[in-house]
Chain A
């Protein structure tokens, strides 16, 4: 009897344990279980992103290269990396940073940190002429989209330290802006202990004037700002034309461990700058000379800047296509705020202020906001599509939220892999966004690619936004590190493919091998070189040790893709010339001996034969 009871008890016990033991942590998160269901969409996704051999993509995407100092060009929807435009970093692949002109542009810096590209605009729409991009080292560059080459690097310009809030352009490319992420004592070179940060350190926002015809950049205006960290920006358009907005954090004016000390206040600010007023004040000669440039002080020139309180530590600030709304989010919060620009103007008119910061009035948050949209955790940056839809990247949630302007309704979310930073929609920051495509620029790729060791690429994910539900359709991997990118309809850019001979006005250009050769003036030697399939003329150059040698190399080809290079061994020279182009490089022939030079860019069946010798005769 007892035995039987025991058996019953034992069975009960085992059953009880079995029930409990079924409860333990799962091996995969909830969302992961759905992934199998997505396979039915594979064929659709593949078809949407497939660009058949020989076919062309619909859009260009210009992706910032971050601390690589470059700009990457992608084709959409294939997400193919088509080319790299070197801007702030030498790039031997195109000879950038080795010839005299690009070396002079780079100055003494061999790196840059390029975050935010800005395509030139006409009436608030991309016009496909130029691409501007910032560098943290206080510089701004202009790339000409006629030949996809960096044409000008302005700076380091005085007073702007850590040019992060840049290079957003105004609707007719009157200005590209700059803003200091790091406040410092001004002028640069002044050493004041960080204890005096709150009072003696200053931020600066600047408008860089752009010549409407040539794109040439010159110093415009600069405004002295409180020592906050100026982070991102966007120019107003249509309803808000004439204004430019900058986010700021560390309005606590704290130092030290900023991840804590700069996150104490519930709100930081978006600075609204009346750039036409700044333009006018600068034209009238107002401002004080700091670091060699005139800087406008809002204390002395009121009406230039107003602060709009925003959720703490905001990143992006984005103006809606109609210019009516300014979207800003505290990046540690779960909502993004839509400010109504009309209300901003009214608050300014009515002096609806709650205080001031170094002479800059602070507007009342409640008076200027229209809505707090519950997009999700960690909203960073917003882009726009068609039909009044907005798309906000969520870093913490690792997702994109789709929501509607006006109704403030969040309608869809799509996960990103992983930790999305910026996002770029097709022409998504212009007055007329295209919709169609959205690219999430993610900070972590985290094993979604063949392993390449600890130094991992970032991931850029293509999202189809043509339908009500967003659909992730493609993973691409990008070198470090894309921040912001812009996507422009391909037919807006009309690049040349050779430099026409008649346009080449280089004083040292020669178009006939008979004119090639060396001339000497004292210890300076100028060598005019002609490259054409498959000879570098002259095939031998003789100089004396200690000579300063300038080589002017002209590629006299007028055929697409017939590039030639000239690599000079042991002298750290590699210059690449495109068809019809002339470049010079200068070096001191300080090593005696014989140094081969050769064509580095494959050109023809007899490319290997395209070589010559530099003979440096010893001194004495």
Chain B
């Protein structure tokens, strides 16, 4: 047991080569779009809405298409089936997500500069945790909107799960839900992180 820990400790104390460090720094760079681009996009079409109603979810805000008007329109439509209004206050993520992403970025850079295998493992674990938690949180939020319907609403519909990824026909609406540019950047960041781990692991094996 002790031998295992010692070997593990040695492994974690290993100094990273140049390539994994560059990949880490690059991964940190790919976190920046989270501050400027949407993480997720929901687009809804109906015969009456040929241009579509668009909702962009950022890490810190909701933004409706058509200068914000689309959120109001979506809320007006949803009130007929008794769905709660989409409001920024319901998204607690907006409060912590920019901070967490910033912190992750700093940890990426810290790992790149200090260059220890242990730091790399830390950020990978944290990043995985952040990713899974965020996706779960987003899915849960959608589920809650679709299930927490006012029983007194004018139109009674079965509780439903809005699409998390892809297309779904909801009544007269075609609903599309896809990641936004910021999420693709986060995925790129994850790929770079993964590449960093693979390269570092190969370095360790060669040594």
CA gap between A32 and B49 in the complex, in Å: 11
A6 partner residues in chain B, CB cutoff 8 A: 19, 195, 199
CB distance from A423 to the nearest CB of B (A): 15
CB distance from B20 to the nearest CB of A (A): 10
Residue pair A23, B178 in contact (C-beta under 8 Å): yes
Residue pair B50, A32 in contact (C-beta under 8 Å): yes
User: Size range of the interface on A?
Assistant: 35 or more
A-contacting 9-mer, from B90-98, B123-131, B133-141, B147-155: B147-155
Q: Does A415 contact B (CB under 8 A)?
A: yes
Q: Does A54 contact B (CB under 8 A)?
A: no
With A20-B179, A29-B174, A32-B50 known as contacts, the answer to whether A2 contacts B202 (CB < 8 A) is yes
Partner of B191, one of A17, A26, A31: A17
Residue pair B48, A446 in contact (C-beta under 8 Å): yes
A-contacting 9-mer, from B38-46, B67-75, B102-110: B38-46
Q: Does A454 contact B (CB under 8 A)?
A: no
A31 partner residues in chain B, CB cutoff 8 A: 47
User: Size range of the interface on B?
Assistant: 35 or more
CA gap between A332 and B41 in the complex, in Å: 29
With A5-B202, A6-B195 known as contacts, the answer to whether A417 contacts B172 (CB < 8 A) is no
Residue pair A397, B47 in contact (C-beta under 8 Å): yes
A332 partner residues in chain B, CB cutoff 8 A: 154-155
Q: Chain A 78-115 against B: per-residue CB contact (8 Å), 1 yes, 0 no?
A: 00000000000000000000000000000000000000
With A25-B176, A29-B52, A397-B47 known as contacts, the answer to whether A13 contacts B171 (CB < 8 A) is no
CA gap between A418 and B46 in the complex, in Å: 10
SS class, residues of chain A in contact with chain B: loop
Residue pair A5, B154 in contact (C-beta under 8 Å): no
Partner of B45, one of A29, A415, A419: A29
CA gap between A2 and B165 in the complex, in Å: 36
Residue pair B195, A398 in contact (C-beta under 8 Å): no
With A2-B202, A9-B195 known as contacts, the answer to whether A263 contacts B43 (CB < 8 A) is no
Nearest CB in chain A to that of B43: its residue: A25
A259 partner residues in chain B, CB cutoff 8 A: 80, 154
Residue pair A13, B191 in contact (C-beta under 8 Å): yes
Residue pair A28, B50 in contact (C-beta under 8 Å): yes
A25 partner residues in chain B, CB cutoff 8 A: 41-43, 52, 54, 176-178
CA gap between A20 and B46 in the complex, in Å: 26
Q: Chain B 144-174 against A: per-residue CB contact (8 Å), 1 yes, 0 no?
A: 0000000011110000000001100001101
Residue pair B47, A377 in contact (C-beta under 8 Å): no
Partner of B178, one of A24, A29, A378: A24
CA gap between A13 and B199 in the complex, in Å: 14
With A260-B152, A264-B152 known as contacts, the answer to whether A27 contacts B184 (CB < 8 A) is no
Q: Chain B 181-199 against A: per-residue CB contact (8 Å), 1 yes, 0 no?
A: 0001001100110010011
B198 partner residues in chain A, CB cutoff 8 A: 9
A32 partner residues in chain B, CB cutoff 8 A: 50
CB under 8 Å from chain A, chain B span 33-68: 41-43, 45-48, 50, 52, 54
CB under 8 Å from chain B, chain A span 1-45: 2, 5-6, 9-10, 13, 16-17, 20-21, 23-32
CA gap between A29 and B172 in the complex, in Å: 12
Q: Chain A 548-559 against B: per-residue CB contact (8 Å), 1 yes, 0 no?
A: 000000000000
B166 partner residues in chain A, CB cutoff 8 A: 23
Task: Pick 23 A–B contacts, CB within 8 A, sort by A.
Answer: A2-B17, A2-B203, A5-B199, A9-B195, A17-B187, A17-B188, A20-B184, A24-B41, A24-B178, A24-B179, A25-B52, A25-B176, A25-B178, A27-B52, A28-B45, A29-B45, A260-B154, A263-B155, A397-B47, A398-B47, A398-B48, A398-B172, A444-B48
Known contacts A16-B187, A29-B50; 20 additional CB pairs below 8 A are A2-B202, A9-B199, A17-B184, A17-B191, A23-B178, A24-B178, A24-B180, A25-B176, A28-B45, A29-B45, A29-B174, A30-B45, A30-B174, A31-B47, A259-B80, A263-B155, A377-B171, A397-B172, A398-B47, A416-B47
